Amino acid sequence: MTAMTSSARPLLNRRLAEFGTTIFAEMSALALSTGSINLGQGFPDTDGPEEVREAAVRALRDGRGNQYPPGPGVPELRGGVAAHQQRRYGLEFDPDTEVLVTAGATEAIAASLLALLEPGDEVIALEPYYDSYAACIAMAGGRRVPVTLRPHEGAFRLDLDELRDAVTDRTRLLLVNTPHNPTGTVLTREELAAIAALAVERDLLVITDEVYEHLVFDGAEHVPLATFPGMRERTVTIGSAGKTFSFTGWKVGWVTAAPGLVTAVRSAKQFLTYVASGPFQYAAAEALALPDTYFTAFREDMQAKRDLLAAGLREAGFTVYDTAGTYFITTDIRPLGETDGFAFCRALPERAGVVAIPNAVFYDHREAGAPFVRFAFCKRTSVLDEAVRRLKSLAG
């Protein structure tokens, strides 16, 4: 229902009219009312490391971050982010001029788009896309141009020719996401090199959402776009403590980029939240300094959960696409005799006691996403076991 005033003008403006309410609200309510297992929204059902939680308690007790922290973020966290990029990827960033702490990756995305777009600028994004991209491009007055990932040999893949053809004289930036939510695709080094070459050739800015950088499976490696030739100076890289340390409620994210880009993004960010998550910034700084064993164990645990859920979904009759990274598995429901992901997801709680998300909500071309359904595996093993047991009723 659209809210109206007496003058019959809709309250929600035209830029946002198409983004009424998210599917997550509807599906989470369904999960509650039916007692279903919620594999819809992507948040872990166990908290991250105890010592990181304790670091937050300590910061709060010691009075660190209880008042407005510095606008760019506390120096400890900016230093921690710079050290992390250096250690893992060999990327050097000056903590004072090239790192910006944000209220989660969500604010980093919003501030970057609001800062870098003029009305009418075109933004190329990989479809299906994370739901805040479309809304933030719209709020910035930009025009989104989807390039659709399609199933190819068991996984969703990017067509580089299609990407190249999507660039016009009005294209201002590429919005990339790898590992990719919702498909679980991890762009290969060759694909990233081609994207980088295109950005350089057409002089495009790049925003790259790498919040799942530590969830790349099967021995593969996360390769930041900023490491490719010509990319360091044109790329805004986005990370998230929520996803990397399983504290999604803390809303600590960050941007690393060249000084001019960071200054631009900060200009927008200062009028959104100004600052956020004071004590949690200190805790995130300690988390980034955890030994490699943490990151390895986190990845291996999540990979085992992926394997468990993927096997269960296959047994239940879904086509399961390869997930090379993230929290998510995308399935095709057509082998179950279904074609409409929306209808399927609305019925699934009653049918099987499980909640999932229709991928169509992540598409401009809804029909292109119709048969695909996303399941999250960032849940306890016992919860996934029970979900798999319930989903098997679909096969019978």
Instruction: Tell me which residues touch ligand PLP (CB under 6 A).
Output: 104-106, 130, 177, 181, 209, 211, 240, 242-243, 248, 251, 253
Q: 170: which DSSP letter?
A: T
Kindly state the smallest distance separating residue 309's Cβ from ligand PLP, in Å.
17
| CB of 248 or CB of 331, closer to ligand PLP | 248
Q: 4: which DSSP letter?
A: B
Kindly state the smallest distance separating residue 254's Cβ from ligand PLP, in Å.
9
| CB of 65 or CB of 104, closer to ligand PLP | 104
Kindly state the smallest distance separating residue 106's Cβ from ligand PLP, in Å.
3
Task: Name the pairing type of β-strands 357-358 and 354-355.
Answer: unpaired
At 128, list the tokens.
């299906």
Kindly state the smallest distance separating residue 241's Cβ from ligand PLP, in Å.
7
| CB of 359 or CB of 394, closer to ligand PLP | 359
Total residues belonging to the chain: 396
Task: Name the pairing type of β-strands 319-320 and 253-256.
Answer: unpaired
Kindly state the smallest distance separating residue 70's Cβ from ligand PLP, in Å.
20
| Nearest Cα residue to 172 out of 264, 243, 95 | 264
E-assigned strand segments in 81-182: 99-102, 122-127, 143-148, 150-152, 155-157, 171-177
CB atoms closer than 10 angstroms to residue 63 = 10
Phi and psi torsions of 309, nearest 5°: -70, -40
| CB of 130 or CB of 363, closer to ligand PLP | 130
Pair 88, 239: CB distance under 8 Å: no
- List 319's β-bridge partners, or say none: 332
Sequence-ordered list of residues with C-beta below 8 angstroms from that of 219, at least 6 positions apart, any chain: none
State which residue has the least CB distance to ligand PLP. 104
Kindly state the smallest distance separating residue 315's Cβ from ligand PLP, in Å.
27
| CB of 239 or CB of 353, closer to ligand PLP | 239
Kindly state the smallest distance separating residue 248's Cβ from ligand PLP, in Å.
5
CA dist 226 and 313 (Å) reads 36
At 63, list the tokens.
């009075």
Pair 50, 267: CB distance under 8 Å: no
| CB of 253 or CB of 278, closer to ligand PLP | 253
Kindly state the smallest distance separating residue 238's Cβ from ligand PLP, in Å.
7
| CB of 348 or CB of 378, closer to ligand PLP | 378
Phi and psi torsions of 34, nearest 5°: -105, 0
| Nearest Cα residue to 125 out of 160, 174, 170, 164 | 174
Question: Tokens 């000084």 correspond to what residue?
Answer: 259
Q: Is 59 helix (H, G, I), strand (E, B) or coil?
A: helix
Q: 126: which DSSP letter?
A: E
| CB of 106 or CB of 281, closer to ligand PLP | 106
| CB of 288 or CB of 388, closer to ligand PLP | 288
